[in-house]
Amino acid sequence: MPAHPYLAAAVQFEPTLACKEDNIQRLLALVEEAAQRGARLITTPEMATTGYCWYDRREIAPLVESVPGATTARFAALAARYRCYIVLGMPEEDEETTLYYNSAVLIGPDGIVGTHRKSHPYISEPKWAAAGDRGHQVFDTPIGRIGMLVCMDIHFPETARLLALDGADIICHISNWLAERAPAPYWISRAMENSCYLLESNRWGLERGVQFSGGSCLIEPDGRIAAVVDYGDGIALGEIDLARSRERRVLGEPVFSQRRPDCYHQLLSDSFLWNPQDFFGLYGHRPLPAGKTSRISVAQFSPGARVADNLACISAMAREAAERHGSELVVFPQRALTGPLAGGAGALPLDDAAVGALIRLAMTLRVHLVIGMAERDDNGCYNTQLLLGPAGMVGSYRQMHLSAEDRAWANAGDDWRAFDTPLGRIGLMLGNDALLPEPGRILALMGCDILACSAALKDGFTGAHPGSRVRQNYPIPTGADPLHWHLLRTRAGENNVYLAFANSINEAGDAGGFSGVFQPETFVFPRQERLMWREQGTATQTIDTASAAGGAYPTNVTRRKDLVAMRQPHHYLGLIK
């Protein structure tokens, strides 16, 4: 790998539809400018040579070409001249099949290194292109291991994860992103959760009524934005240090060594390929509950060392949520009952009097409670979540992805847990689980409507946006937003679930926090969510998990799971190896 950090550039560019030669000349000028400024890796937007919004295959036919071809030769000459690497977005024709693809081509000083054909089509590609057939490859180069994704690919956490598992240092994501401020939360999440750089070239401008978002950028392995272009043609230039991406740590955790691929086989399934009402009701085994409109809350506080004090706080907050706000589900932080530093010494059995008091509380209030605790049984200790309800103990979950700190005292669980309630199907996950994309995805594939996440995350899972000059249609916001990116908001949207995230805060109130109830659709504005800062209290949101009565197909996104249904699991074998 390079002995020293080097510069990378994301080119932002507005192509003119069908004006291929003009687009190529302008692109070559921008790429050359980036190379002259010292960039060794340069990306261009998706479909940069031709424009994007094509009616059909016949319309784009005069503009497609093979790889290698005349256009790639022109960029290869530039790469040779400056000894740099270029990712070019273009429509590709396969000479053997004459199928068209939306492709990203990696070009180096010695010619074409490799090609990625967009594997997860957006609504526009099926009008003219086939879904990509080459999976997700990583290419070794003298400047690091490079993977490529095209726009919609990055909605699916599996794609970036496959690249990271194959050792990608940099993910070059080229896009025609729309319908929100950029840098987009999905981009930031994929960099952060995989602890690698993400070099993002997006287009800007208006084409056939579609407003694109700009925001081309370099995102660092911790999710920070190193350089960005908001509006207009331009170059985001930033530094890549491969030593940082190769640390493979997320919020300080070595999450890749914490993965449980032996428990991930469900990632290769396709639960939502069929009508979920039929699929989950097959053979009469565990059909989806009817669901309903309800109110759910998250509670945020600082658990202490005394169980009695924690129990009193839980009781008071549960009563407030249930009696004042009408909540039917209240989610509390990780180890809310036993305290954050309890470990093995403070772990309690499930038949402890304090657990009994919580069961009575849930039964008295006629409410469901999700509460974290340190559990002890004859086989050892566990970081555990309880789900309690009006009828008593519903079930429990033992954390499957233990943090480095918790591995010192706890055993890992070995099973995903989802429970049917009048509110819908509820899946349980604990703090460190949220740093990995696999747990939320598996629970979604199990048909969960709601994910209840109890956590004690300290910092680094949110990010701000200064505001954008790009005009967006109302009600898409363009102004400044101190919580533009929230990792758990991404988790909710990518899995089409309501996600109730209850995080602890420290006594000083300057770490942790940002608990919230997040909506199941990423691109619905105004956002239907409730989000806290770092104060003690509860946040409550109305949710709806029911479909229209009598319908043959689900009418609710938490049941249809549109985004989950568009997965391409035949590409995902690497996730379980």
Active-site residues, by number, are: 46, 118, 151
DSSP-assigned letters across all residues of 68-96:
SSHHHHHHHHHHHHHT-EEEEEEEEE-TT
CA distance 137 to 365: 53
Concatenating the DSSP letter of every residue in 197-261 gives: EEEEEEBEEEETTEEEE--EEEE-TTS-EEEEE-SSSEEEEEEE-HHHHTT--BTTB-HHHH--G
CB neighbourhood size of 70 (10 A) = 9
User: Of 524, 532, 523, 469, whose CA–CA distance to 500 is shortest?
Assistant: 532
- What is the rounded distance in angstroms from the CA atom of residue 385 to the CA atom of residue 196? 31
Select from 130, 98, 99, 134 the least CA-distant residue to 116.
Answer: 134
Q: What's the CA angle centered on 538, arms 534 and 540, to 5 degrees?
A: 120
Residue 24 φ then ψ, to 5°: -65, -40
Strand partners, 202: 175
Nearest to 556 by CA among 291, 297, 294: 291
3-state SS of the chain: helix, strand, coil percent to 5?
30, 30, 40
For 254-278, b/e burial (b = at least 16 CB within 10 A) is ebeebbeeebbebbbeebbeeebbe
> What are the beta bridge partners of residue 348?
375
Q: Look up residue 333 and give its DSSP letter.
A: -
Per the omega criterion (within 30 degrees of 0), is the bond before 466 cis? no
Which of 101, 108, 109 is CA-nearest to residue 129? 101
Strand, helix or coil for residue 182: coil
What one-character DSSP code corresponds to residue 505?
B
Task: Report the distance separating Cα 145 and Cα 218, nearest Å.
Answer: 16
Q: How many CB atoms lie within 10 A of CB 349?
A: 10
User: Which 8-state DSSP code applies to residue 512?
Assistant: B
Reported in sequence order, the residue ranges of 365-478 that DSSP labels E, i.e. its strands, are: 368-377, 380-389, 392-398, 418-421, 424-430, 450-455, 462-465
Length of the chain in residues, anyone?
577
Q: Which residue's entry shows tokens 């847990």?
A: 417
| CA 546 distance to own-chain centroid | 25
Amino acid code (one letter) for 471: R
Residues 6+ apart with CB under 8 A from 174: 43, 44, 45, 46, 48, 87, 89, 104, 148, 149, 150, 151, 200, 201, 202
